[in-house]
Chains A and B, each alone.
Chain A
Amino acid sequence: GIQVEQSPPDLILQEGANSTLRCNFSDSVNNLQWFHQNPWGQLINLFYIPSGTKQNGRLSATTVATERYSLLYISSSQTTDSGVYFCAVVNTDKLIFGTGTRLQVFP
C-alpha cells in the first residue's frame, strides 16, 4: 500500500520563527489534506490540496503531485500553533495518515 512519510518528526521553535513541514507519498493520490491536532486531540482541517498552492493567513501549502510531495509553511509561529501536524492522502479507497510532525513553539 501507499506509504506516507512526514519530516521532521519533531520541531521546536521560538515564537516568531518560520518553518516548513514536508509530506512524501509513494504513489499517486486523489486528494491530500493537512490537519493540525491540538493538545486536546481535536483534528482541525488546514488545507484540502490535491495539487497546487493555497494560503490561509500565516499558513500556506503546496502539493506537487507529479513529484509526490506536499509542503506546509508556517510563518511567524505562535504558541497556539503547537501540536501535531498530519498529512493524509487518498490513493484508491481510503484516507491514509502520515506519521505526523510534532511542533512545539515556545514564547
Chain B
Amino acid sequence: DGGITQSPKYLFRKEGQNVTLSCEQNLNHDAMYWYRQDPGQGLRLIYYSQIVNDFQKGDIAEGYSVSREKKESFPLTVTSAQKNPTAFYLCASSYRGHFGGEQFFGPGTRLTVL
C-alpha cells in the first residue's frame, strides 16, 4: 500500500534531550513537509523540502532541524533549544513542490516532554 508512515506514534522525552521523528513515504512524491499542531489549533509549518538535499524553514523552524538525504525520507529532530516541544507532529508529502500539489498526511507523532 502506498502512503506515509511516521514513527513512533507516541514519544516521551526528558527536558534537554534531542529526539528524532521519522517520516517515510513510498508515493514517489518530490516534496515533503513537517507541521506542528497544538491542542485545539490548526497546523503550522516547521520545515519543507522540495527536492533531495534541499530544504527550507517554515514559520516555526527555531529549535528544529531536518535532513533530506533520500527522496523517501524526511526526519525531523526536535532539539533541546525548542522551548515548548510538547505537541502533535504531522508529516506530509505532495507530488509537486512549491505547495502546488495536493498534500497527503501521515498518522502523526505525539511528543510529550516530561
Q: A86-B42, A97-B43 are in contact. Are A41 and B100 (CB under 8 A)?
A: no
A69-95 CB mask vs B (1 if < 8 Å, else 0) is 000000000000000001010100111
- Say yes or no: is B23 at the interface (Cβ < 8 Å to chain A): no
Q: Decide if B88 touches A95 in the complex (CB within 8 Å).
A: no
> With the chains together, A95 CA to B59 CA distance in Å?
11
Tell me if B86 counts as interface (CB < 8 A to partner A).
no
Count: A-B pairs, CB below 8 Å: 50
Contact (A42, B105) CB under 8 Å given A86-B42, A97-B42, A99-B42:
yes
Bound Cα distance A101, B42 (Å): 10
Say yes or no: B42 contacts A95, CB within 8 Å: no
- Indicate whether A43 reaches chain B with its CB closer than 8 angstroms: yes
Tally of B interface residues using CB under 8 Å: 22
- Tell me whether B45 and A41 are in contact (CB under 8 A): no
For chain A, residues 18 to 69, give those with C-beta under 8 angstroms from any C-beta of chain B: 30-31, 33, 35, 40-43, 45, 48
A contact residues, total (Cβ < 8 Å): 20
Q: Which of B33-73 contact A (CB under 8 A)?
A: 33, 37, 42-45, 48, 58-59
- Interface residues of B, dominant DSSP: strand
Contact B42 A98 (CB under 8 A): yes
B99 at interface by CB-CB < 8 Å: yes
Q: Closest CB-CB distance, B8 to chain A, in whole Å?
A: 14
**CA gap between A6 and B99 in the complex, in Å:** 21
- Are A94 and B110 neighbours in the complex by a CB distance under 8 Å? no
User: A95 to B101, alpha carbons, bound, how many Å?
Assistant: 10
Residues of chain A lying within 8 A (CB to CB) of residue B88: 41
Is the pair A95, B103 in contact by a Cβ cutoff of 8 Å?
yes
Indicate if the CB atoms of B58 and A30 lie closer than 8 Å.
no
Whose C-beta in chain B lies nearest to the C-beta of A30? B100
With A99-B42, A100-B42 already in contact, the answer to whether A94 and B107 are too (CB < 8 A) is no
Q: How far is the CB of A36 from chain B (nearest CB, A)?
A: 11
Q: Does B85 reach chain A (CB closer than 8 Å)?
A: no
| 13 sample A-B contacts, Cβ–Cβ < 8 Å, listed by A number | A33-B102, A33-B103, A40-B107, A43-B90, A45-B104, A48-B102, A86-B43, A88-B103, A94-B58, A95-B33, A95-B45, A95-B103, A97-B43
